[in-house]
Structure 1
Amino acid sequence: MCSDIIADTIFSAISRGNFVFVSEMLEANTELYFIRNSSGMTIFHYAVLHRQHQIFNLIYGLKQKNDLLRYRDNDGNTILHTAGKLTEVTPIDHITGSVLQMQREIQWFKEVERICPPMSKELLNRDGLSARDLFTKTHRNLREKGEKWMKATTTSGSVVGTLIITIMFAAAFTIPGGNHQETGLPILAHDKLFKIFIIVDSVSFFSSSTAVLMFLGIFTSRYADEDFLISLPRKMIIGFFTLFLSIITMMIAFSTALLLTLRGESWIFVPIISLACVPILFVSMPFRLLVDMFVSTYGSGIFDRNMKLWF
């Protein structure tokens, strides 16, 4: 009875992510690594089910982890099957956006797959499903939400990028100050402000062109599960970064052109620069999502593989 109470307490702590309690209990009694709950799950099955990465990281420090990884629950599910499940107890609501949620789920599946015996990929549970089949089945709705969000977002981004391309292309041939009638060269060609205008206009044009191409690549993607791991987030990062860059450089080009035209009216410099900063402030609002996506894709990750072997 006492052992059942201890087991229930540990599994309850795992579901709540109480890493300190779980780690201290396991350190005090290493036999607890091999306990199971009523469903036949080990503590690592349960940590994977509840996506508790700190508790799951303890497995990297175990010399006997291969024995634990071979365990199957009462329904014939391996730990890789558990990684492929998406249920109400899987806490992913704290992650912003369905795309990042799908990416995190694939990261979990890939990490568990990496440390599992190769045969685990082919093992079937009592429903006749492999771990990959179970992942595809339970994550179908999340994948469709991610696909819908990305297509809607990239469509809006493509429209904005196309407008910037049109504006910057036209601005390059309707330059401030006009051209010499004899040579056709810009009158202000040797002016420093004019050179700045040409540079930022070109940067805006080419960066917006890159953004549109990235968004087109996202829109025409096959949206397989693996695409959400690296391919789609990378294209989204490049697309949004270059779109933000094109908007910022477009405002700089606009301000520079006005300064060239109205350079005799020095009092107007400050309001021009102030107004140009307003759109840039609004551009920074969705920048948090871009940062989260970059960290999730290229960051150090949530899995600590360098834990020292101790049991």
Structure 2
Amino acid sequence: MIKGATLVKIFPKSFNKFTSGFWRALHYMAPTIKDIHDTKVNNKLSNLLVNRINKIVMETYDHGIVWKILGSAVATAVKYGTRELIEECIIAYPAIIWYNVDGYYLILEAIIKRQERVYNLVHQMSFHKVFVATQLYKNGNDNALHLAAKLAPPHRLTVVTGAALQMQRELQWFEEINKFVKPSYREALNGMEKTPRMVFIDEHTELLKDGQQWMKDTASSCTVVSALTITMAFAAMFTVPGGTQVDGKPLFLNYNTFMLFIISDAVALFSSSTSTLMFLGILTSRFAVDDFLYYLPKRLTIGLISLFMSIAATMIAFSATLVLVLSDKVTWIAAPLVIATGIPVYLFALLQFPLLVELVHSTYGRSIFYQQNARRLN
């Protein structure tokens, strides 16, 4: 029996043509696969290039040259968040971790630039983070927590949607750095006689206002929709399809479709009521700075999920009503109308689902500060 490897040796050209043709067809039919393939190829080639450059630089045995070349590469990588380049440079020359970028050590520059991938890498690979975080910088004015309290660069703020989630991201950074600074440094004064908390509030005043307005606008719009859903679901419960008998019992009480109508209408009423309460809780909130970390995103998440459930349940109740009313007379029109009721649910999911996913991920998902696959330095 001829094995696959033997076939490749016997028909190398045919095999190569088949492979290249297969990949071209796959790339044509699925552009996403092509993008993933190209990204992986570029990453692999970039790693080979970085390793080759590092080897050439290290073979000079000149500290000044190594420090200058690798240091400039690391400084650029911090700016753009290229953690792979930084990792290879640190492995090749561990002392580069102390390179100053604009007067700050590597981990502090990552905090200033809000590059969490770089921060996670240096945090994981080295043991000097506690020492660095407890030092004062800029002539003794600021410590690491003061730096984390300052407003992120504009291009790093826009990685999440909406001012409220941007405020949450800033609070996540501040709380992360707050974990490993000395307790005394949490209330330390800088050159402007301000604590880190005071710096954070001053720097984020405008973002806080924008976050409040964004939350209020979103909650107000959704409250109107959920209130209308409550009205319709409540009215439908007492005006059941087909009417009632003399004794007051619904005419279609023994039909399974009618039970579907009752259950879906009840779900619509309860979920829309929950949604309204959550959005009212947002509108009546004090909108303190710390509320944007967990309290407000949690209420908005529950409100959006409940609103989606209420809209979906309302459409199901409407479909059940159509089936009950039209099944005996106009059967051909019932099916298209039932299918059409899914359009509003689809549109709501299409428009609001990305925001909901981002809310759930940023509030309940994996933190932006997580363990990466990196080699640790001693």
TM-score range, shorter chain: over 0.9
Q: What is the one-letter code of the residue matched to 2:252?
A: L
Q: Could you tell me the TM-score, scaled by structure 1's length?
A: 0.94
- Say whether 1:250 aligns with 2:314: yes
Instruction: Find 2:215's aligned residue among 128, 150, 159.
Output: 150
Q: Note if contact 2:107-2:129 (Cα within 8 Å) is conserved in structure 1.
A: no
- Residue pair 1:233, 1:297 contacting (<8 A) in 2 also: yes
Find the counterpart in structure 2 of residue 304 from structure 1: 370
Task: State the match for 2:272 in structure 1.
Answer: 208
CA spacing shift, 1:162–1:89, aligned 2, 3 Å: closer
Give the match for residue 173 of structure 1. Answer: 238
Structure 1: give runs of 5+ residues left out of the alignment. Answer: none
Of all paired residues, the percent bearing the same amino acid is: 36
Residue 161 of structure 1 contacts residue 211 of structure 1 at CA under 8 Å; is this kept in 2?
yes
Match of 1:55 among 118, 130, 145: 118
**Residue 217 in 1 paired to residue 281 in 2?**
yes
Residue number among 201, 209, 215 corresponding to 1:136 in the alignment: 201
Moved more, 167-176 or 53-62: 53-62
Whether 2:133 is the aligned partner of 1:69: answer: yes
Q: 1:41 aligned to 2:104?
A: yes
Query: Number of paired residues?
Result: 309
1:196 equivalent to 2:260? Answer yes
CA contact (8 A) 2:114 2:152 kept: no
TM-aligned CA distance change 1:73 to 1:37, over 3 Å? farther
Structure 1 residue aligned with 2:179 = 114
Q: Is residue 360 of structure 2 the alignment partner of residue 294 of structure 1?
A: yes
Name the CA distance, whole Å, in 1 between partners of 2:124 and 2:286. 35
Answer yes or no: is the 8 Å Cα contact 1:49–1:90 preserved in 2: no
Q: Which has the larger radius of gyration?
A: 2
Q: Distance in 2 between matches of 1:5 and 1:176?
A: 78
Per the alignment, in what secondary structure is the counterpart of residue 222 of structure 1? coil
Structure 2, unpaired ranges of 5+: 1-63
Deviation for aligned residue 1:90: 6.1
AA at the equivalent of 2:110: A
Letter paired with 2:226? G
Q: Distance in 2 between matches of 1:6 and 1:263?
A: 76
More displaced 10-residue stretch of structure 1: 85-94 or 96-105? 85-94
Once the two structures are superposed, what CA deviation does each residue of 1:3-51 show, in whole Å capped at 9, x if it has no partner? 456534422221111212212222222222223244x311111001111
The 2-side partners of 1:29 and 1:146 are apart by 43
Q: Is 2:81 aligned against 1:17?
A: yes
Structure 1, 236-245 or 84-93: larger mean CA deviation: 84-93
Change in 2 beyond 3 A, CA 1:261/1:90: closer
Greater share of residues in helix: 2
- For 1:234 and 1:144, locate their aligned partners in 2 and report how far apart those are by CA, in whole Å: 19
Q: Distance in 2 between matches of 1:127 and 1:69?
A: 19
What CA deviation, in whole Å up to 9, does each residue of 1:161-197 have, x standing for no partner? 111111110100000111111x211121111011000
> Does 58-67 or 128-137 show the bigger shift?
58-67
2:333 aligned to which of 268, 273, 290 = 268
Counterpart-to-counterpart distance in 1, 2:152 and 2:184: 25
2:220 pairs with 1:161: no
Contact 1:50 1:90 in 2 (8 A): no
Q: Which amino acid aligns with 1:114?
A: K
Q: CA RMSD in A?
A: 1.8
Q: What SS class does the counterpart of residue 156 from structure 2 fall into?
A: coil
Residue 248 of structure 1: CA displacement? Answer: 0.8
**265-274 or 234-243: which moved more?**
265-274
Give secondary structure in 2 for the equivalent of 1:177.
coil
| TM-score of the aligned structures, taking structure 2 as reference length | 0.78
Q: Is the contact made by 2:151 and 2:204 (CA closer than 8 Å) also made in structure 1?
A: yes
Deviations 1:126-150 (A, max 9, x none): 1111111111111111111111011
